[in-house]
Chains A and B, each alone.
Chain A
Amino acid sequence: MSPSEQHTPVFDRIATGVPGLDPILGGGLMASGVYIVVGEPGAGKTILANQLCYEQARQGTRCLYVTLLAESHSRMLANLRSMAFFDASQLPQRIYYVSGFRMLEEQGLPGLLELLRREMRNHGAGILVLDGLVQAQEAAGSSRDFKKFIHELQVSAGLTRFTALLLTSSVGPTVHPEYTMVDGILELRERTAAMRSWRELQVRKFRGSASLSGSHHFRISEAGVEVFPRLESVVSRAQPPDWGTQRVRFGVPTLDAMIPEGLAAASTTLVMGPPGSGKTLLGASHLAEGLRLGEPGLMVSFYEGPDRLLHKAANVGLSLGSAVRDGRLTLQWNMPAECNLDMVAHALLEDVRKRGVKRLFVDGLSAMVETTHEPARISPFFAALTQELRRLGVTTFFTLETPRLFGPDMDVPLGTGLSGVAENLLFMRHLELNGRLRRLLSIFKLRDADYDPTLREFLITPQGIEVQPPFQPSPELLLTGIARFPGNHS
């Protein structure tokens, strides 16, 4: 055979039908592979395996689902009925459920193996799910017998070209030495901290191609299992395009006048300030200006719901409601306790890609940060997110709440991970002067643009934000929140 006639066998991929999982697996499971899905009871193994079966059935592949002392088929189907992927019309022609427990009880692993081979052949199935591998393991006379069972199943899968998913709850060590014989191991686990729990998936082993390492969040809802690959592991490593001299403006003439050239397009701006200082309105202005120029916008919020935001914007003359109605502006509202960094990031990036969003406003960075229990991840996560947004040409505006309303100390929460990657930093705060509360704004840093560094008072009027001329009294003290006019020591 000449070198040109030789070819490396290329394994077909089996789509799992689980959003987010195939990218983690490098494109799906390898056809004819034997995979173990391990996790505590309730971890989501059965849903994941069924989701794969219904996806494959939709593509015309027959699936055999064999249970070993698991929940009854009627109970399993009753639980699956509410899932979006469930399709009763696939039963029993394309998805077939049988119990192998009696065979295992009476004839042990050889009997079970024979049953699996025969049923796969009889049904012409391309997918086998064995739910309850731990029962087979317990029925094995020795570790060697169990290894032999898995080995023979692998041989059958290779010969007759079926892909097998073996589901097991962990007993003793999470991953038994016997499990290492298979082509891949997926571990599902649930973790709890501060009375909050979240689910994680980890590919412990995957033969045949690279997979995304580390843990990835997943959730189970009526949509079934949805995995959110860790953002840092999936964003493009390519250098973002050079957006050249493209510039964007806030849409607040008096503020834009402080930055004559405008902000660099596709840059990230972080606006810090205490509650009520006007951060959200500045972000809304950023979106409204984009809409005026025909740029699709997206707002991601954590505290204030969409209706409240629209109402707030309308009060200062920013009419965003019609843009929401006609789809030029999307509002994504998240409950911090019910989401995590990757869910938020994937949802916003999906919308950015789908609608070609050019302006993004994330209101409440600290709430977003609170969605994770892994502080060490925050910096790499935001580096990855801003890099991806830059690559997609999105000009992003984040707000970060500073805790103190007034006083000589400034608490700037620079540990949120974004301050290091934001090209532009704006600071807002309150100032009490002669019994009157004032709002101040200053530009700390701006990428590739000259700016007016003076401290400015700004007003929120029914017509929007109005930045005032440079503030005169005791400028050296303004950032402390305590100011005096020159000569006024009372």
Chain B
Amino acid sequence: MAPATETVLVVDDEQGILEALADLLREEGYRVLTASHGKEALERMAEVKPDLVLTDWMMPVLDGPALIERIQKDPELRHIAVLGMSAVDTNGLRRQHPGMEFLQKPFDIRALMKQVRKALDAPRVREG
């Protein structure tokens, strides 16, 4: 069980997946925020800074790559861990975005939780 102080922001345009992921992460003890696209995710992060952004890649309004770019360019946000997820071939996405970790949809729940934990535990530069 994760400490309830850790917050994960899940971003996905598919409502069913968004809700299922949120429920699973809550059951694991995380505090969970949700957004259905990148723009909404940035709005959430203006209010609460999560420890991890778990984001889908293909989304309307503002997609995964654009969201990651905004996070990495923002000194307030760039310390936040990010994890991508997609139904498309994630090996191709890894090649296009070196340094990013991706989860292949549909995912195995245990693998998902392991990846979330790994992303949260990875050392990050915190500016302050």
Contacts and interface: CB of A to CB of B under 8 A. Distances in A.
Interface in A134-161: none
B48 interface: no
B60 A100 contact: yes
A73 interface: yes
Contacts of B60: 66, 98-100, 103, 115, 118-119
A406 interface: no
Interface in B42-78: 57-61
A72 B60 CA distance: 15
B14 A72 contact: yes
B87 interface: yes
A101 interface: yes
A73 B105 contact: yes
B109 interface: no
Contact of B87 (A66, A73, A115): A73
Nearest to B93: A92
17 contacts: A66-B60, A72-B87, A74-B105, A77-B87, A78-B106, A88-B92, A91-B58, A91-B88, A92-B57, A92-B86, A97-B58, A97-B87, A98-B58, A99-B13, A100-B60, A101-B15, A105-B15
A262 B92 CA distance: 65
Contacts of B92: 88-89, 91
Given A88-B92, A98-B58, 14 more contacts: A66-B60, A73-B14, A88-B88, A88-B89, A89-B92, A92-B57, A92-B58, A92-B86, A98-B13, A99-B13, A101-B15, A102-B15, A103-B60, A118-B61
B107 to A, nearest CB: 9
Nearest to B14: A99
Interface string A90-128: 011000111111110100000000010011000000000
Interface string A41-78: 00000000000000000000000001100001111111
Contacts of A91: 58, 88-89, 92
In this complex, the member of A66, A92, A97, A98 whose beta carbon has the largest number of chain B beta carbons within 10 angstroms is A92
A67 B88 CA distance: 16
A74 B13 contact: no
In this complex, the member of A67, A73, A76, A89 whose beta carbon has the largest number of chain B beta carbons within 10 angstroms is A73
B53 to A, nearest CB: 18
A101 B18 CA distance: 12
A97 to B, nearest CB: 5
Contacts of A76: 87
B24 interface: no
A186 B23 CA distance: 40
A99 B106 contact: no
A72 B61 contact: no
B15 A99 contact: yes
Given A78-B106, A88-B89, A97-B87, A72 B58 contact: no
B112 to A, nearest CB: 13
Contacts of A101: 14-15
Contacts of A102: 13, 15, 36
B17 interface: yes
B123 interface: no
A73 B58 CA distance: 10
B14 A96 contact: no
B122 to A, nearest CB: 25
B98 interface: no
A89 B57 CA distance: 15
Contacts of A99: 13-15, 36, 60
Contacts of B128: none
B80 to A, nearest CB: 23
A88 B91 CA distance: 11
B126 to A, nearest CB: 32
